[in-house]
Amino acid sequence: MESEADRVVRLLAAQEQALALFDEIGARALIAPGRSERQVSNQIRDLAHEMFGVERHWHKRVVRAGPNTLHPYADNPPDRLIDADDIVFVDLGPVFAGWEADFGRTFVLGDDPVRHRLLADLPRVFDAGRTYFDAHPDVTGAELFAEAGRLAGAAGWTFGGPIAGHLVGEFPHARIPGNKIEYYVAPGSDRPMRRLDHDGRRCHWILEIHLVDETRAFGGFFEQLLDLGPSADTTASTGS
């Protein structure tokens, strides 16, 4: 079994590679008008293999545009073409050398001020959620989920997902025993998040923020490590 220090190094390295992948997605303008969500997803799959030799993703690749951004992860809305004035989010779970990354970002095409406000609010709400986690040593997954919903409402949005995060590591999702709700930031997850997992290792967590505007029928998504690494990158992802 790897030491805790080695686990931290590997999780942070996986996230850094995911960040580099997203930077390249933007640099190559893969998210562009006229492309379908599925086409972009396949291009991202090929790019991850080209850059890092990624052979597998521990969860399905999610690319959603326009009204499809209202849907949480578990949904499978019909494939949609990206418009010239649109909002798109990407949620990826690439596996780097046997370690999970889970990373999500939002891209805005066009000049719509409300979409750009949502884009700017995503990392701010993430950082506020992390601040709450840091300030409450015994916080449970259910309590952090409730705070994520409160923060979304305070910013003028609705929280769009049934969870606000989960355990991350060496494929823990494939090995979660019994009542797995305790491994999610979700209602009913009533154990302290700062604890050891079933293998006796420290739990590390992903925080995911899904904000939606139900009236205008779009949303955005932001996801990265909660308890490790720096604060959210507040640089907006804007497509052209």
pLDDT tens-digit readout, 151-164: 999 999 999 999 99
| Cα three-residue angle 212-39-79, rounded to 5 degrees | 50
- Tell me which residue range forms the domain holding 166: 4-239
What residues are paired with 221 via a beta bridge? 210
For residue 42, pLDDT beyond 90: yes
pLDDT of residue 54: 74
Q: Which of 12-16, 56-60, 199-203 has the lowest mean pLDDT?
A: 56-60
Chain segment 45-55, per-residue pLDDT in tens = 999 889 987 77
Tokens 């990373």, residue located: 103
Q: What is the pLDDT of residue 237?
A: 58
CA distance 92 to 185: 18
* Buried-state track 31-61, b at ≥16 Cβ within 10 A, e below 16: bbeebebebbbebbeebbeeebebeebbeeb
110: exposed, middle or buried (Cβ count in 10 Å: 0-12, 13-18, 19+): middle
8 Å CB contact between 123 and 222? yes
* Token couple for 93: 């779970």
CATH number at residue 165: 3.90.230.10
Alpha carbons 44 and 177: distance in angstroms, whole number: 32
Displacement of CA 48 from its chain's centroid (Å): 17
Q: What is the pLDDT of residues 153-197, one digit of tens each?
A: 999 999 999 999 998 876 555 555 556 899 999 999 999 999 998
Residue 239: pLDDT band (50, 70, 90) is low
Mean pLDDT over 76-105 rounds to 90
Count of structural domains, the chain = 1
